[in-house]
Every structure is written in structure tokens, then in C-alpha cells.
Structure 1
Amino acid sequence: MNRPRTVVLAVIASTFFVGFGGGVVFPILPNLGAVLGITPFVVGLILSANRFTRIVANAPAGALIDRFGTRTPFVAGLFVEGVATLGYVVAIRSAAPEAWFLASRVLWGLGSAFVFATAYTIAADVSDGGSRGTNMGVVRGGITLGFPAGLVLGGVVSDSYGVVAAFVVAAGFAMLASVIAYRTIPETHVSEVQSSVKPWHVDRSLPAVTVGLVNFGLFFAYLGALFATLVLFLEARSLTVLGYGPQGTSGLLMAVTVLSASVFMLGGGKLSDLRGSRVPILIAFLVVSFGGFVALALADSIPVLIGACVLIGAGQGGTSGPLMALLADLTPEDRMGRATATNNVLGDVGGGLGPMVSLPLIETVGFEPVYAACAVIPLLAGVLLLGGVYAKTGAVNPRTDQISRDARG
């Protein structure tokens, strides 16, 4: 029998390796678009297609997981992502590269919907109240770190050995991820009595909606205010690092943000386990996120901007583990797949809407008002979180062991 720690490590390894395919196109496709005859608009559509697909696919994925279990959807999702990455190789040599790239990104989004929903559900299934925060944090870290690793892979390998080599290497790692999962991941989620679950049913319970809306706000500000506008902010303020231009400097600063988020993903979940409660840790990191966006609004030098990126990354990462653990604490086991999907849907909607709202607003009112408005979002998320937890449990800071027992019978 697989031990919980072994299962969690296998999930981390699988999601990390498959994540290469998510990031590998970003340093390659924008520069390759003109050569292949792909317009900038279509390049943007290709890069975003996986997220738009996931918005549609998250809910069916979660429902099917609750009906059929986690093992098969997890392995199948990883394999689909591997096939999608191989599609990039075909696209390079195709007479219609934009169609192949777009189809591959749509396929990637479909596979990732199953991978994300199953990864969190598996972590919840093999955890208890004393380890759930830690396990959710490290699984989230594995999912998150695969993307920047793909960015590095795409840039370094394509420069040294060519674009096709970068895509082939990424596809190889993705296929390796599905092999690891097939060999090591047991079934964790099917009970003896399975209720009928329709794929279009989403979890509309108070915990799922509350956690999902918090996730919506965080991704709206994180992707919309920081990642989507940072290069424009650097160019407007003439801020550089190590002689790099706005693009190179923004890449370095985003790497700092992701690294900070990854460190605090592990720490936030572990702290919530040690305290035996999630809410104080969540509120603390939401305040850290608020401070980061305030610093971003006031940034007039690289040191201040680095500090803002560290704080925003810490706030984003530090909430991830405790937030998913809180959702698992408050959700019956047979609904965890759908609850995770609800959270993913709202997070993807927030991440998709953020750039669409922030970029036009910055042209109209400037950077500072937009960043200041985004600083308020974590505070509003904290109020929403407290209200939802109180309405569900009757306390603003319930103990983990108590709410977990109540939710899981």
C-alpha cells in the first residue's frame, strides 16, 4: 500500500514535469510568430487558450472525479498534456502552424483541468487535519514551479539547440510525468457507494464559493495587476536591472515573485497545520499581499519594486496551501472533486479578467490608482473569508480538527 507521503511526492513530481509544457511556449512563440506568419492577436489567443478551455472544463472534470475516482483522470490528464506538447512540434513543421498551436493549447487546457482537480483531491484524500495544509502547499508548489521551469527550458534549450528540441524535451518530460503517475498513484477517492454525479453539476456550497471567490480576487490582482502590466510599468519608469531592458527586467522580477510564492506555499500550509487553524495564517498573508500592492503603487526604484514583488509573491503563495486545506476541511470527501473544480473555475476567471480590466484602466487613469485598487482586493477577500467561515461553522477561527470531523462525518 502506498504511504500518503509517497503519494504526495508522486503527485508533486508528475505535476512539476508536466508543467514544463505549460511554460515552454512563452519565450518561444512571441518571437516565432512573425516568422510563422502568426499575428500578435493570434499569438495572444494561443497563449491564453489553455486557460479559457480550463474555465469550461474544470466543472465537468471535478464532477467526473467524484463519480469515477482520481487515478484514471490524473494519469489520462497528464498523458493528454504530453500529447498536446508534441503538437507544438507538429505546428512548427505545419503549413497552418496557428491552427496546430491553438489546438495543442486547447488540448493542454483540457488535460490540465483534470490534473489540477485530481492533484488537490488526491492530496486531500491522503491527508488529515494535521497534514492537509502542508500537503496542499507542496502540491501547489509542484504545479506552480513547473511553469517557470518551462520558461527556462524554452529559452535556454531553444537558444542552444533549436525550437524543435525545446518542444521535444518538454514533451518527453510530460510523458515521463504520466509514467510516474501510472506506476505510483493509487486510487484514493471512490467509496463503496457512489452517488450519481452529472458532469455539469458544480459545487455551489458555501465553502466552495467562499474559497473560490477569494481565489478569484487574488488571481485577478496577481495576474492582472502585476504580471500583465509589469513590463509597461518598467518601461514607463525607465527602471532596469543589470542593464536589461523592460522585458528582461520584468522576467527577472517575475522570477523573484514566483520564487517567493513557492517558498511561502510550503511555509503557509505548514504553519496552518502547526497552529491547528487556517484562518489566522490566511488573514496574515492577505495582509502581506495588501502591503505588496501598496509598495507596488509607491515604487519609484528597483529595490522598492523588488520588495513589492517579494511581498506579493509571499501573499499569493502563503494563502495557497491553507486556502485549499480549508476547503478540504469544510468539504465532505465525496464532493471534494467538484469543490476543487469550483475553486479552479473562479481562479481562472479572475486570472483571465485581470489583464482585460487592468490594461485599459492603466491607459486611462495610470498605474498608481490601479495598483492601489488592487491592494484593497486582498482586504475584501479577508472580510469575505471571515464571513463565509463564520456562516459555515459559527466561529471566525474554528479549529481544524473540529471542522474536519464535522465536514467528513
Structure 2
Amino acid sequence: MQKKIATIALLVILCFMTTTVFAASTTVSTRIKDIAKVQGVRSNQLIGYGLVVGLAGTGDSNKTLETLQSVGNMLKAFGVSIDSSQLKTKNVAAVMVTANLPAFARPGDTIDLTISSMGDAKSIQGGTLLQTPLKAANGQVYAVGQGAVSTGGFATSSGGGGTSKNFTTVGLSPNGGIVERDVEAKLGSDGTISLSLAKPDFTTAARITNAINSRFGNIAGANNPGTVKITVPYMYQNNLIGFVAELEDLYVTPDSIAKVVVNERTGTIVMGGNVAVDEVAIAQGGLNVNIVKTTSVNQPQPFSLGETIVSKDTDVQVTEDKAHTIVLSATANVSDVVGALNAIGATPRDIISILQAMKAAGALHADLEII
């Protein structure tokens, strides 16, 4: 008998151990690299004004004054003097050129360009962008762009009709820009670096701080829920890249607020696993009203002096579906609510309306975001 009791006790202990391991395995951890970035490591936006030439009659019309003036100024720079009013610019289009200058880009590196028509050109397909200076917000030139334009589409017309694919007034020039000036990033110049969280959160910032201090000692502190400031250890002062690489490879468990996101247009519902629901009763039913009109004809007796009478009768029928009621305990979550509503035949829009009512009643403990 004692052996049986010991065996049962051992099985119970194993069951508890299995449950604990399973709960731990469901905890999702991620790298610091995926939820935060080093401050100062960022790209910069560039913009420029230029001309696309070589178009097959699909460029700007003579009504686009900026194109006429730009072509005239360009020709003067090459020693050609001509009256701008005499120009025909149907093979030329005025465009705005935009690009992103990556962090740590060096002179000679190439970047991609986006070229957008700003006049009344029909298409910039097959054109060539002339050399265009690209400036940052401070007005300084950091790159120049020039090269063939690819729109990835087409536009044709004939006899009053036409067809097109994609937007032919916006194109790309892969590697069409050349970096002329770099942007110095002062990374760790004062012996410290800062991590900026993608989604500021007190709990996540505290967990990142604890993970860093557990690995390198007491070198990290969170000034606010969006920033963790780190003092570079003495042994890594000459190997800052290696230190940042080790930081980014640390694993933490990010935290987030409970949220339910619903899309009314498509009936999509996305929810987090930490959404809680108080005890609540939900009734779901419908009211159907049918109105039927019929026409009756009454004929008089033969050889009588009566007249034929036509009457219209209206029959109103009201039916109400039996309401389906479900009661959920306080331990339920939104997945239980949605599963129960699906079981009684509620549509996605019914579920969205019920979730909104639960939020208004205070039974849904989560942010309800409607997109």
C-alpha cells in the first residue's frame, strides 16, 4: 500500500513539473536588437529638384513654366542662349528626387532614388534623370543623383482609349545616387550610449536594464520608459562595436498593454494573450420584420348591378429569433468570448459590436482599437 501511495505522489509531482516547464516554454523572449535601437544610428532624408529627359512625347506641356525655365537655365549653363518661350518640352519632365541616406554611409557609396513628376507629364517611363544635387534639411548637399528611370509599368493610348499599369509618373533609379558627404555619428564619444525602445514601456525598460546589469555589471539605468542609458565598460572602450553587438544579442521578455484591435471593414479581430474579462452575460438575437402586400379582386354576381372591386391587403409579420445567452466567468479571456459567440452563430460584426458593448460596460480590461 505504501508503494502505491509513493507511486501516486511521484506521478503528481511529475505532473506539476511538466506544467511548470510548459508554462515557462510559452514565455516569448526576444533580442534587444528587435525591440530597441542605439540612439544616433539613424538615416537622413534627402531631396532635390531635377529634370528627366528622353521621354517619348509624354513629358510636361508648354504650360508648365518651371520646366521651361529649368531647361532654359540648364542650356545657359552649357553656353546655349535661347528664348524659353521657344522651347518645346514634351520630351522633358520636371521631377522631385527623394532618397534616404543610411547611417554610416561614406562618400562613394550608392543609394536608391525615388523620382516623382511634379508637372503635367503623362509618363516618365524610359527617361533619364540628369545630375541632381540632393540636400538635407540643413541645406547642404550630401549626394547627387543621375541615371535611368524605371517605372515598372506602362501607359498607352490610341483612338481616344488607353490602358495603363502601375503609376507611370513615379519611378525608381536603383543605385542612382552617389554619396558625396558622410554624416558623422558620435556613438559613445562621451563614454555612454543610449538604447531607444521601439515601444516605450516601464516594464520592458526595467527588464532590459536588469538583463544588461546581469551580464556586464551595474552599468545601465532607465531614465524614462523609452530610454536606457548605458556606461561603456572600460574593457570595451576600444571595442565599441563588439560591445553593442553583445548588447543587441541579449534576450529579454518584452511587456505590452492588453489590447484588442478590430477592423470593421473586414471583420478582423486581433487580440493579445493578456486580455482579461470580468464575469459577464451576453445575449445575442435578432428581430425580423416582413411586410407582404397582396391584391384581391371581388367579382359581383352574374346579371347583378354590382361592380368589380379591387382591394390591396397588407400583412405585417414580426418574428424574433430566440436570443442566445452565454455567461462567462471572471477567469475568461477574449478568446473564450469569441469562441462562445462563434458557437452560437454570431457574425464577425456581431462580435465587434459585443466587444464594444463589453468595453463600455467595463467588463473588458483592454484597450479597444478600431481601425
Quick check: which one's strand share is greater? Answer: 2
TM-score calculated relative to the size of structure 1: 0.20
Which has a greater percent of helix? 1
Q: Calculate the TM-score normalised by the size of structure 2.
A: 0.21
